[in-house]
Structure 1
Amino acid sequence: METFRDILVQLRQFLEVPLVRLGGAPVTLWAIIQLVVLVVLLFYLSGKLRTWIVDQLLSRTRMEPGARQATGSIIRYTVIAVGFVVILQTAGIDLTALNVLAGAVGIGLGFGLQNVVNNFVSGIIILFERPIKVGDRIVVGTVEGDVIHIGGRSTTVVTNDNITIIVPNSKFITENVVNWSHNERKVRFRIPVSVAYGSDVHLVERLLLEVAAANPDVLEKPAPGVRLMAFGESGLNFELRVWSTTLIHRRGFLTSTLNYAIYKIFADNGIEIPFPRRDIRVLTDGVGNRVQ
């Protein structure tokens, strides 16, 4: 028993050996271990707190999912900032002695970690201004998909191919972002259609409206519309305009479904869909010789 006690005493003496001094206070190995353990617990518990706030507390309110996620993230960052200061004081580290170190870290952040800081600040701006939120359908650069998570450094987007893409938050601040569901999930689709010259334009309009009315993903209000847009080289260029709230994440599917239905109803009613034609004239000199 005394041997075990002696080992504990020696271990304690070893852990309390000063490694460096910050100001007038020594920093021991025990303080460093305590600091690491407490920081790990801080990040773990703050993550659990965020999950509880988003999934339990705020889910009982009328806040939309994106607002709940933003509120939870802001609370977590606040808890981490305050908790880190408390942990430093608990570990016996003099904060006033860290002024020089903070200045050096600031210089390092300005040069080596400027992209990380830029993305983090951009994440804070996104959470406060909410140009995008969880559940939105967005297009930024060549990336198009649904936002499933907004973090401090990056935003996670899932495409229609079920591919997860991690987008740096600064992209949403410095580039043009198309948000298909920023105000509401109601988007107008434009379906270009061309018919041959000589077609009954009123019949074409009626058939296109029938196709729109028969599609369950097309809204009745606002009502679908048909416009004669131009007199093309090969035919009359119409445009079917429809509204949808269910397929903004699968716009190609809705366009394809409508095109299939348009092709069938045109064929059943004798409406010709034109293709490019070119008339070639050969000039001769009157005796059958081609003129060069």
Structure 2
Amino acid sequence: METVRDILIQIKQFLEVPLVKLGSAPVTLWTIIQLVVLVGLLFYLSGKLRGWIVDQFLTRTRMELGARQATGSIIRYTIIAIGFIIILQTAGIDLTTLNVLAGAVGIGVGFGLQNIVNNLVCGILILFERPIKVGDRIVVGNVEGDVVHIGGRSTTVVTNDNITIIVPNSKFITENVVNWSHNERKVRFRIPVSVAYESDVQQVERLLLDVAAANPDVLEKPAPGVRLMEFGDNGLNFELRVWSTTLIHRRGLLTSNLNYAVYRAFVEHGIEIPFPRRDVRILREARQAEPFDGNGSS
């Protein structure tokens, strides 16, 4: 027992050796261990609290998932900020002595951490303004996919290929963002179709509307429409306009299904799909050659 007690006393003395001084308060190795453990617990418990708020508490309200995620994130960041100040005071660190450190950090932020702070501020703006939310279908730059998580520094987007892309939050503030489901998940699709000039335009319109009505992903209201857009070089250019809520994340699939159905309908009813044609006329002018007299004249 004496040996164990001596070892504990030595460990305690080692941990209480002052490393640096902040004002009148010494910072020991034990203080640093306390800070690390308490900050780790703060992040862990705040994350658990955020999950409980989003998945259980706010599910009793009519808030949608994106609003619940934003509310949970804001509450978590507030708790972390307040908790960090309390932890510093609990560890015996006088916050007034950190003014110089804060000034140094400010200089570092101005030079080396500018992008990180920019993304953090943009993340807060996204959470408050909510131009995007979890579950939205978005396009920003060359990235298209579903928003699955909005963090303080970045937003996670999953593409149709099941590839996760981490997008800095500043992209959503400084660049144009296409949000396919910002107001509601109802989007109009435009399917261009060309037919030969000899085609019956009323029959073409009827066939296109029949194709749209037979597709289960096309909404009945608003009703599909057909427009004769222009008289093209090779044929009549129509446009089939349909509305959908189920395939806004797979627009290529809906377009492909409708194109397949349109092609089958046109083949069955003898509607010709035009292709570029050019008439080439070769004009030959018969010329009778005069004899050459050897003096350079004819």
Same fold, TM-score > 0.5, yes or no: yes
Residue 269 of structure 2 corresponds to which residue in structure 1? 269
Does the residue aligned with 2:56 lie in a helix, a strand or coil?
Answer: helix
Task: Tell whether 2:33 aligns with 1:33.
Answer: yes
What's the secondary structure of 1:152's corresponding residue?
Answer: coil
Instruction: Please report the TM-score for the alignment, with normalisation by the length of structure 2.
Output: 0.95
Match of 1:49 in 2: 49
Alignment CA distance shift 1:106-1:288 (3 Å): farther
Q: CA deviation at 1:217?
A: 0.4
What does the per-residue CA deviation read over 1:141-168, in whole Å, with 9 as the maximum and x for residues that have no partner? Answer: 0000000001111111010011111111
Q: Which has the larger radius of gyration?
A: 2
Distance in 2 separating the partners of 1:286 and 1:220:
66
TM-score (norm 1): 0.97
**Structure 2 equivalent of residue 186 of structure 1:** 186
Counterpart code for 1:85: I
Equivalent residues in 2 for 1:57-136 (5 A)?
57-136=57-136
Letter in 1 for 2:165: I
1:162-194, CA deviations, whole angstroms, 9 ceiling, x for partnerless residues?
Answer: 111111111000100000000000000000000
Residue-by-residue CA offset, 1:247-272 (whole Å, 9 max, x unaligned): 00000000000000000101111110
1:287 to partner: Cα distance? 6.7
Unpaired runs of 5+ residues, structure 1, are: none
Report what 2:251 is aligned to: 251
Aligned to 2:20: 20
1:286 Cα deviation (Å)? 4.4
Q: Which runs of 4+ in 1 moved over 6 A?
A: none
Q: Which amino acid aligns with 1:71?
A: T
Gaps of 5+ in 2: 290-298
- CA displacement at 1:84 relative to structure 2: 0.2
Give the superposition deviation at 1:51: 0.6
Question: Can you list the C-alpha shifts for 1:117-137, whole angstroms capped at 9, x where unaligned?
Answer: 111111111000000000000
Residue 150 of structure 2 aligns with an amino acid whose one-letter code is I
Match status 1:9 vs 2:12: no
* Cα distance in 1, alignment partners of residues 255 and 14 from structure 2: 72
Task: Tell me the distance in 2 between the aligned counterparts of 1:32 and 1:146.
Answer: 41
Q: CA-atom RMSD, angstroms?
A: 1.2
Aligned residue pairs: how many? Answer: 289
2:260 alignment partner in structure 1: 260
| Percent of pairs with identical residues | 84
Q: Which residue of 2 aligns with 1:147?
A: 147
**Cα distance, 1:288–1:24 mapped onto 2, change above 3 Å:** farther
